[in-house]
C-alpha cells in the first residue's frame, strides 16, 4: 500500500541531484543556440567565392528572427502533441529517444563547424536542426515535467533550478569564448561539443533514476493509488480474494487517467500564470535587452563583454536564484489571489527595460549601467520564482494518476507563453 509516510530517504540527495541534472538537460538546446548567434551569423555572412572572384554582398538571412520562430513552433506543436502522446507511448521510451535525438543533432552541429558550406546550404541545415532539436526538446520537457510531478513539490523546484543553470552554462561558455581569443573554428567546436557531453550525462542520469529506492517509491505511486482506492472500498475478505486472484496486478496495469480537459479545468489558473510569466519575459529578452549599451563605451574591454555579462549572465544567475528560492519558501500559496497579481504585475518590466540606455533611443530614461543591472536582476528573479511556483503547484491540484497530464499541459502553456512573447518582441523592437 502506497503511503508517503513510508517513503525511504533520498540517500545522499542522489535523486535531487539527478532531477536537477535532468532540468539542466532540457534547456541546453535552446540556450546553446541562442547564445551562439554570433557564430551562426558569421558563417552566414561569409562572402561567397565563385569564378575566381570574391566580395559578393553578404545576404541578410535574418538568423535571429528565424531561429526564434523555428524554435517556438515545434516546441508549441509537439508540447501539445505530448499532452496526448503520453497516453499511448510510455515515458521510459519518449525520454531516452528524445535525448538520443538531441545528442545526434548537437553532434551534427559540432561536425559542421569544420565543414566548408555555402551559406544557403548552411542556413537550410541549421534551420532544420533547430526545428528537430526543439521538437525533441518539447517531448523531453513535457515527459520530464510529468514525471517530476510524481515527487514532492521541492523536486519540481529543483528541476526548474536545473533549467535555470542551463542558461548560466551557455552564457559562461559564451564569455569564455570571447575572452579566450582562440581561432573561431576551435572555439565553436569546443562550444558545441560541451552540450554533446552534457546530453549524454543527462541520459545516463535518467537511466539510473528508476534504480534508486527513493525514486522507485514515487515513480510507482500512480499505480499504488489506484489499487489503494479499490481496496479501501472492499471488505477484508474481498481484499484477500483480490490478492489471491491477482486482481491487484491487473488493477495496476489498467490505470485510467482523467481526460486532458478535466485536468485542465483544475490547473487553468496556473497555466494562465505561467503563460503570462514567459510572454512578458520573451517580449523583451533578448530582443530589447541586447540593444542596451554601456555608458562606458570608451573602455573597449568592458564594452566587448557588457552584453554578455549584464544581459545574459545577470539574467541567468538571477533566474536561477528565483527558481531555487521556492525550495526554501513558497509564497504566495497555490490558492492565494496574490499569485496572479504578482504574475501580472511583471508587465511593468516591459516599459522599464525599453527606457534603458538603448542605442539611438529617444526615450531613454535609465542611462547608467547600474540601473539596467538592477532592473534586469528583478526582472529575471521574478521570472524564475513565479514560473517555478506555478510549475510546482499544478501537480498538487490533481490526483497523482494525472500528474503527468498536468505536467505536459503546463509545459505546453509555458511554451505558449514563449511563443506569444517572441511574437510580441517584433512590434516592441520597432518602438525603440
Domains and CATH numbers, the chain: 10-46+61-219+257-431 (1.20.1250.20), 221-250 (no CATH)
Closest C-alpha to 167, from 431, 384, 399, 432: 384
Residues 362-401 as b or e (16 or more Cβ within 10 Å = b):
eebebeebebbbebbbbbbbbbbbbbbbbbbbbbebbbbb
Backbone φ, ψ for residue 200 (5° rounding): -65, -40
The pLDDT, as a whole number, for residue 80 is 76
The pLDDT, as a whole number, for residue 230 is 44
Tallying the residues shown for the chain, one arrives at 432
Q: How far apart are CA 305 and CA 70, in angstroms?
A: 28
CA distances, 307 to each of 78, 257, 361 (Å): 32, 47, 17
pLDDT digits (tens, 9 = 90+) for 148-170: 888 887 888 888 888 888 888 88
Helices and strands (H and E) in the chain: how many: 18, 0
The pLDDT, as a whole number, for residue 116 is 87
Cα distance from N-terminal residue to C-terminal residue, the chain:
61
Sign of the CA dihedral with 28 first, then 33, 34, and 36 last: positive
The pLDDT, as a whole number, for residue 221 is 64
Closest C-alpha to 159, from 343, 16, 315: 16
Q: How far apart are CA 310 and CA 269, in angstroms?
A: 33
Q: How far apart are CA 416 and CA 264, in angstroms?
A: 15
Q: How far apart are CA 394 and CA 153, in angstroms?
A: 10
Cα angle, residue 307 at apex, residues 303 and 308 outer, rounded to 5°: 110
Q: How far apart are CA 353 and CA 372, in angstroms?
A: 7
Q: Classify residue 175 by burial, with Cβ atoms within 10 Å: 0-12, 13-18, 19+.
A: middle
Q: How far apart are CA 234 and CA 418, in angstroms?
A: 48
On whether the CB atoms of residues 164 and 26 are closer than 8 A, the answer is: no
On whether the CB atoms of residues 157 and 327 are closer than 8 A, the answer is: yes
On whether the CB atoms of residues 218 and 150 are closer than 8 A, the answer is: yes
3-state DSSP helix/strand/coil % of the chain, to nearest 5: 80, 0, 20
pLDDT, averaged in runs of 10, over the chain (432 residues): 68 91 88 79 62 51 74 82 73 91 94 88 92 90 84 84 85 78 70 88 93 87 50 48 47 60 94 96 87 88 87 92 88 92 97 90 86 97 94 89 81 86 82 78
Q: How far apart are CA 105 and CA 327, in angstroms?
A: 34
Q: How far apart are CA 374 and CA 315, in angstroms?
A: 10
Q: What is the DSSP string of 173-218?
A: HHHHHHHH---HHHHHHHHHHHHHHHHHHHHHHHHHGGGSHHHHHH
Backbone φ, ψ for residue 292 (5° rounding): -70, 135
Closest C-alpha to 201, from 101, 110, 103, 317: 103
On whether the CB atoms of residues 134 and 71 are closer than 8 A, the answer is: yes
Amino acid at each position: 500500500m502506497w503511503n508517503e509516510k513510508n517513503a525511504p530517504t533520498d540517500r545522499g540527495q542522489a535523486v535531487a541531484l539527478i532531477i536537477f541534472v535532468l532540468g539542466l538537460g532540457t534547456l541546453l538546446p535552446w540556450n546553446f543556440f541562442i547564445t551562439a548567434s554570433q557564430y551562426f551569423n558569421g558563417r552566414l555572412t561569409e562572402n561567397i567565392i565563385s569564378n575566381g572572384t570574391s566580395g559578393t554582398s553578404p545576404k541578410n538571412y535574418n538568423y535571429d528572427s528565424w531561429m526564434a520562430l523555428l524554435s517556438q513552433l515545434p516546441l508549441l506543436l509537439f508540447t501539445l502533441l505530448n499532452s496526448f502522446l503520453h497516453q499511448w507511448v510510455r515515458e521510459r521510451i519518449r525520454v531516452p529517444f528524445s535525448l538520443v535525438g538531441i545528442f545526434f543533432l548537437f553532434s551534427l552541429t559540432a561536425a559542421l563547424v569544420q565543414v566548408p558550406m555555402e551559406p544557403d546550404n548552411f542556413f537550410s541545415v541549421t534551420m532544420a536542426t533547430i526545428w528537430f532539436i526543439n521538437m525533441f526538446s518539447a517531448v523531453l520537457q513535457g515527459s520530464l515535467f510529468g514525471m517530476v510531478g510524481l515527487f514532492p513539490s521541492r523536486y519540481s523546484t529543483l528541476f526548474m533550478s536545473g533549467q535555470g543553470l542551463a542558461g548560466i552554462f551557455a552564457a559562461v561558455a559564451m564569455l569564455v569564448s570571447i575572452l579566450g581569443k582562440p581561432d573561431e573554428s576551435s572555439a565553436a567546436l569546443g562550444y558545441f561539443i560541451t552540450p554533446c557531453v552534457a546530453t549524454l550525462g543527462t541520459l545516463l542520469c535518467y537511466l539510473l533514476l528508476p534504480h534508486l529506492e527513493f525514486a522507485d517509491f514515487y515513480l510507482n505511486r500512480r499505480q499504488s493509488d489506484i489499487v489503494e482506492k479499490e481496496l479501501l472500498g472492499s471488505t477484508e475478505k474481498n481484499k484477500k480474494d483480490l490478492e489471491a486472484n491477482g486482481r491487484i496486478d491487473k488493477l495496476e496495469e489498467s490505470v485510467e487517467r482523467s481526460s486532458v480537459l478535466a485536468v485542465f479545468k483544475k490547473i487553468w489558473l496556473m497555466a494562465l500564470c505561467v503563460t503570462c510569466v514567459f510572454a512578458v519575459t520573451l517580449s523583451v529578452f533578448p530582443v530589447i535587452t541586447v540593444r542596451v549599451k554601456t555608458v562606458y563605451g570608451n573602455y573597449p574591454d568592458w564594452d566587448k563583454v557588457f552584453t554578455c555579462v549584464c544581459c545574459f549572465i545577470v539574467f541567468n544567475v538571477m533566474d536561477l536564484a528565483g527558481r531555487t528560492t521556492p525550495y526554501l519558501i513558497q509564497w504566495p500559496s497555490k490558492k492565494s489571489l496574490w499569485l496572479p497579481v504578482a504574475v501580472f504585475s511583471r508587465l511593468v518590466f516591459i516599459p522599464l527595460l525599453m527606457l534603458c540606455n538603448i542605442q539611438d533611443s529617444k526615450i531613454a530614461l535609465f542611462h547608467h549601467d547600474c540601473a539596467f543591472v538592477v532592473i534586469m536582476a528583478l526582472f529575471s528573479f521574478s521570472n524564475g520564482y513565479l514560473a517555478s511556483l506555478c510549475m510546482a503547484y499544478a501537480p498538487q491540484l490533481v490526483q497523482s494518476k494525472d500528474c503527468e497530464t498536468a505536467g505536459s499541459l503546463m509545459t505546453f502553456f509555458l511554451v505558449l507563453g514563449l511563443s506569444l512573447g517572441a511574437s510580441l518582441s517584433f512590434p516592441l523592437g520597432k518602438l525603440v
